[in-house]
């Protein structure tokens, strides 16, 4: 049998030969002394590309999010996010365990409005309430199927945050996908926020690494928290070289992943066993639900695996498929054929 078509996540990509070569050739030094030239170059280039004063490499997106909350909030504070935000669902309770904050989810399908944020901000000055100090946007939103957060609403949300003294944070693990899908630059999408994170290990295909960007002052504080969490590393240039290669060579091609996800989604939406909102398929993620009477997610994932297609069960009756650098259009079509036949059975 040919190797499996792995649609579990865009994190499963392996570095290409050219990326490995860039990594092998990377000039390195001790990043704790600020002496890793490749990491310094990545941080400078990303600060410029994202339109922020400064940037700091992070070993993972989870640590980037944790450090962001440590910088922007104090223990006991409240952070407003969209429903099913990564920070609340996929970080092992780190928001509470590390930053000591509680998360309040608002909106629907990965997005929310200025009015919904306003309603969620607890009244100030009363001792019973926690202080609402941070608003976090996830763009694209993972669990809602890679949806792009409408930028005009982002602008209104961040304006309200400033009026009410809240800090704003963008979890932009897939900001690259949001930029390609919306036709807006990463800098424009990032502009309204105090602090943002991006990941190199998702669609861009690097073996690891994320980055925080913001004002010099916030990044200086982030550096201390990174160290405290044990995320300060040494010859990071090997990873930074992979990130630079991914940004340069794998960013524009994300449009192919989006087209592949769309084709897969359209075929799945035609199955009676599947409930899939095609409007949610805007980038490289396809989240679908199984209709009453259809097998559950674990059964669908198991029968797909037997056909050589790997998927993720995202809930009892919810399945996620993600397209990426290491699956071609032909493989996505093959996966769609297997899935539609097993869902029809
Ligand atoms: C993947 C992801 C992260 C970071 O995950 P790591 O696996 O720790 O790199 C953060 N936010 C979102 C929305 C993600 O999808």
For residue range 124-168, list pLDDT tens digits in order.
989 999 999 999 999 999 999 999 999 999 999 999 999 999 999
Ligand 1 mean position to 313 CA, how many Å? 17
Specify the length of the chain in residues.
345
Number of H helices and number of E strands within the chain?
Answer: 14, 13
Residue 56: helix, strand or coil by DSSP? strand
User: CB–CB of 312/301 below 8 Å?
Assistant: yes
Ligand 1 mean position to 86 CA, how many Å? 7
Tell me the mean pLDDT in the region 112-126: 96
CATH of the structural domain 253-344, one choice from 3.90.1150.10, 3.40.1080.10, 3.40.50.12780, 2.40.160.50: 3.90.1150.10
Helices (H), 138-280: 151-163, 175-182, 186-190, 216-228, 237-249, 254-269
CB of residue 171 inside a 6 A radius of ligand 1: yes
- Answer whether residue 1 shows pLDDT above 70: no
- Answer whether residue 3 shows pLDDT above 90: no
User: CB–CB of 310/327 below 8 Å?
Assistant: no
Strands 274-275 and 210-214: unpaired
Ligand 1 mean position to 280 CA, how many Å? 19
What residue spans in the chain does CATH classification 3.90.1150.10 cover? 253-344
- Answer whether residue 100 shows pLDDT above 70: yes
CB of residue 201 inside a 6 A radius of ligand 1: yes
Tell me the mean pLDDT in the region 44-53: 98
Ligand 1 mean position to 21 CA, how many Å? 26
pLDDT at 344: 87
Tell me the mean pLDDT in the region 79-85: 98
Strand partners, 320: 287, 312
Separation between Cα atoms, residue 83 and residue 97, nearest integer Å = 20
Looking at the CA of residue 138, tell me the nearest atom of ligand 1. Answer: 13
CB of residue 61 inside a 6 A radius of ligand 1: yes
Closest Cα partner for 277 from 268, 324, 63, 123? 268
The label of the residue with tokens 């009026």 reads 163
CB of residue 273 inside a 6 A radius of ligand 1: no
Mean pLDDT of the chain: 97
Rounded to 5 degrees, φ, ψ at 214 are: 180, -160
Strand order in the sheet with 78-82: 54-58, 210-214, 195-199, 167-172, 132-138, 78-82, 102-106
Ligand 1 mean position to 87 CA, how many Å? 8
- Answer whether residue 22 shows pLDDT above 70: yes
What residue spans in the chain does CATH classification 3.40.640.10 cover? 17-249
pLDDT at 125: 84
CB of residue 60 inside a 6 A radius of ligand 1: yes
Instruction: Return the C-alpha torsion angle 105, 109, 111, 117, nearest 10.
Output: -30
Count of CB atoms situated within 10 Å of the CB of 27: 14
Strands 309-310 and 312-315: unpaired
Looking at the CA of residue 62, tell me the nearest atom of ligand 1. Answer: 8
Ligand 1 mean position to 10 CA, how many Å? 11
Separation between Cα atoms, residue 46 and residue 344, nearest integer Å = 46
Which residues have CB under 8 Å from 257's CB, separation 6+? 10, 177, 203, 283, 284, 323, 324, 325
Strands 274-275 and 5-6: unpaired
Q: Which two tokens stand for residue 100?
A: 């000591």
CB of residue 173 inside a 6 A radius of ligand 1: yes
CB of residue 212 inside a 6 A radius of ligand 1: no
Separation between Cα atoms, residue 94 and residue 229, nearest integer Å = 11
pLDDT digits (tens, 9 = 90+) for 274-290: 999 999 999 999 999 99
CB of residue 142 inside a 6 A radius of ligand 1: yes
Looking at the CA of residue 9, tell me the nearest atom of ligand 1. Answer: 1
User: CB–CB of 175/39 below 8 Å?
Assistant: no
Separation between Cα atoms, residue 29 and residue 165, nearest integer Å = 40
- Cis ω for the linkage preceding 207 (within 30 of 0): no
Closest Cα partner for 212 from 65, 81, 100? 65
Q: Which two tokens stand for residue 262?
A: 């769309």
Which residues have CB under 8 Å from 220's CB, separation 6+? 54
Ligand 1 mean position to 215 CA, how many Å? 22
For residue 250, what pLDDT band results from cuts at 50, 70 and 90? very high
Ligand 1 mean position to 143 CA, how many Å? 11
Residue 323: helix, strand or coil by DSSP? coil
Closest Cα partner for 22 from 44, 9, 50, 41? 41
Separation between Cα atoms, residue 71 and residue 301, nearest integer Å = 39
CB of residue 65 inside a 6 A radius of ligand 1: yes
Q: Is domain 17-249 classified as CATH 3.40.640.10?
A: yes
CB of residue 62 inside a 6 A radius of ligand 1: yes
């Amino acid at each position: 049998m040919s190797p499996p078509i792995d649609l579990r996540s865009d994190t499963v990509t392996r570095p290409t030969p050219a990326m490995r070569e860039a990594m092998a050739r990377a000039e390195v030094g001790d990043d704790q002394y600020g002496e890793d030239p490749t990491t310094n170059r990545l941080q400078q280039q990303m600060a410029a590309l994202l339109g922020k004063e400064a940037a700091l490499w992070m070993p993972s997106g989870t640590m980037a999010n944790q450090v962001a909350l440590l910088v922007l909030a104090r223990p006991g504070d409240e952070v407003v996010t969209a429903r099913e935000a990564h920070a609340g669902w996929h970080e092992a309770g780190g928001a509470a365990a590390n930053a000591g904050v509680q998360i309040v989810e608002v909106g629907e399908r990965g997005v929310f409005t200025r009015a919904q944020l306003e309603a969620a901000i607890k009244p100030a000055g009363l001792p019973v309430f926690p202080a609402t100090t941070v608003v976090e946007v996830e763009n694209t939103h993972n669990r809602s199927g890679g949806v792009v957060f409408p930028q005009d609403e982002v602008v209104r949300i961040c304006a309200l945050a400033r009026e009410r003294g809240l800090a704003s944070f963008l979890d932009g693990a897939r900001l690259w996908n949001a930029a390609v899908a919306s036709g807006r630059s990463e800098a424009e999408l990032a502009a309204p926020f105090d602090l943002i994170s991006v990941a190199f290990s998702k669609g861009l295909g690097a073996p690891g690494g994320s980055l925080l960007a913001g004002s010099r002052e916030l990044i200086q504080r982030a550096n201390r928290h990174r160290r405290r969490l044990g995320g300060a590393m040494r010859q990071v240039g090997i990873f930074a070289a992979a990130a630079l290669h991914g940004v340069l060579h794998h960013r524009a091609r994300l449009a192919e992943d989006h087209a592949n996800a769309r084709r897969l989604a359209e075929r799945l939406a035609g199955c009676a066993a599947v409930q899939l909102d095609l409007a949610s398929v805007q980038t490289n993620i396809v989240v679908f639900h199984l209709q009453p009477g259809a097998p559950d997610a674990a059964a669908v994932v198991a029968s797909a695996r037997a056909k050589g297609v790997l998927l993720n069960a995202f809930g009892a009756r919810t399945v996620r498929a993600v397209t990426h650098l290491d699956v071609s259009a032909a493989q996505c079509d093959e996966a769609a054929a297997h899935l539609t036949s097993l869902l029809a059975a």
